[in-house]
Structure 1
């Protein structure tokens, strides 16, 4: 009896990363064929949840591998389409977006689709955790890298898509600097595995990986497969204290985790409840709008098997020396220098 050939479905966003995927679809499919897959492609539409709907269809149709090509939003949609099914295909990613946080954590080459798909050929996989966010009274939504709430969560929605395509990281960093002075604390109750935090908070992060907004050390001890979130609560809205925290994150020292203005907690479940809601606490899931608090988060341990670069996954350095990385490192250095200057004053 002839053995069934493995099937792979490439789901790609044609607009991501200066339309880099449109130029490489044929080469990616050829690579997948060389790895033993019967490969086909789906180009996402402008309609909502296009990638999610196709990922769900391909999963239920029994595909063995789904390759998600695009930015963090496209990858989130594909993860969402896969995660609700009992039998799930393996997942690989080709990063072609602005921040590419998941790719940074998995050490997948960025902005080079052929190098990224070559990771599949190494046949190194890891069963990674997936997060579920459930706003009270609303449907659950999945995320695979980061959930955030409070100040700065509007950052992703505030940067026009054409600027993200043209300027990438620098568009986010410029908008972030503009929003910092508007950060305000609100009183919340956060229930987690270790107990309850009740007090003032300006923002929170629920991380599955160590990379948030391009900062690869914001959750320095995050593990991809331990069933735990890294919960970071920021308890200040003072501009100079926020800049100091950013400086500690940017210089990679990891000292921010012990700062008096930070709660740094490991937990598999948490609930965030605003106690004096002056304005809605918006939730950001992998860079996309995820509803409003109150919200609960659950960690689905080892939920999806992903192709990762295991040879490099513990490496503390960035992959490559592309223009985006060099630009980010320059901005990070400026954050660190500014923090040091303010401490000395």
Structure 2
């Protein structure tokens, strides 16, 4: 297959080729672009394999977090020697937010993808255990169970298409009700397994969410480590304290104070940690999410990190 400068992978559920052509043709000629659209059956992994056959300088992904994750999964799996560019069209666009990719103007994101300086970022891998067997997936933002996963599961898709990420707020109350405390076994790196109790465990490569909210304020997508957050608040007063810790101590207040990474915002109900490998064994199935998508109910999972797995412009 003829070599091209840019292999463009686009999700027809999020954008159209016509909307992409104008900004792309400002920086590439028509014969420098190869086009590949995703499908329900192939959300990005197989498409990425075909895109690599064109020997592109850059693979440009136009879509949401799910499309970015699927393409990144294949590129990391085969250790592709190619840059990745992101043109965000999703609800969350979480990796794009964490890498300061322009979100509101397609032309700016395309220009960044075409000529921006590439930086290495890590990719996380998770082996998720379901009652039907084990599945292996990559992630570039975060995974876990609890409030975040339940909020995704409870969100109305039609409302999400109209209100964007604010639709998640509408589902928060139902997510809180579904996020009961659970005792589970947590093994960090080569340490012994220890008994923990909590309703939410998030493990991330990135930490920033919509609205400038940071769940994992110390997470760096290129540091070779995973950051994790365990929440165990139960009842109104502990929850108010948890929200203060997450919104102020770990978020806005920390930015204002310019606190360094060594300052801990942990409480009895909020625990942060860092690892390269994490193993979780659950007593019963829990709703599980990968990069903002519900993937089923997990009975356990093992997480590892692939350092510098991608080069993202």
Q: TM-score range by the shorter chain?
A: 0.7 to 0.9
Matched residue, 1:13:
11
SS of residue in 1 equivalent to 2:123: strand
1:227-246 matched pairs, under 5 angstroms: 227-246=224-243
**Which one of the candidate residues 30, 44, 60 is aligned to 2:38?**
44
Shift of 1:37: 8.3
SS of residue in 2 equivalent to 1:191: strand
Distance 1:229 1:30, change over 3 A: same
Cα distance in 1 for partners of 2:214, 2:166 equals: 19
Matched residue, 2:136:
140
Higher strand share: 2
SS of residue in 2 equivalent to 1:80: helix
Shift of 1:194: 7.2
Cα pair 1:31 1:117 within 8 Å, conserved: no
SS of residue in 1 equivalent to 2:44: helix
1:24 aligned to 2:24? no
Matched residue, 2:173:
177
1:130-169 matched pairs, under 5 angstroms: 130-136=123-129, 137-169=133-165
Distance 1:146 1:31, change over 3 A: farther
1:288 aligned to 2:293? yes
**Which one of the candidate residues 83, 89, 97 is aligned to 2:76?**
83
SS of residue in 2 equivalent to 1:139: strand
Distance 1:293 1:111, change over 3 A: farther
Distance 1:198 1:91, change over 3 A: same
Distance 1:89 1:237, change over 3 A: farther
TM-score by length of 2: 0.85
Cα distance in 2 for partners of 1:238, 1:152 equals: 18
SS of residue in 2 equivalent to 1:270: strand
Which one is further off, 147-156 or 64-73? 147-156
SS of residue in 2 equivalent to 1:198: strand
**Equivalences, count:** 296
SS of residue in 2 equivalent to 1:50: coil
Cα pair 1:148 1:205 within 8 Å, conserved: yes
**Which one of the candidate residues 91, 112, 123 is aligned to 2:116?**
123
SS of residue in 2 equivalent to 1:225: coil
Distance 1:60 1:40, change over 3 A: closer
Cα pair 2:58 2:114 within 8 Å, conserved: no
Q: Deviations over 1:29-67 (max 9, x none)?
A: 313416x9811222322x233322201221255333111
Matched residue, 1:192:
188
1:298 aligned to 2:296? no
Distance 1:33 1:282, change over 3 A: same
Shift of 1:239: 4.0
**Which one of the candidate residues 254, 266, 270 is aligned to 1:262?**
270
**Structure 1 consecutive aligned stretches of length 4 or more whose deviation exceeds 4 Å:** none
Cα distance in 2 for partners of 1:294, 1:77 equals: 22
TM-score by length of 1: 0.78
Shift of 1:187: 0.4
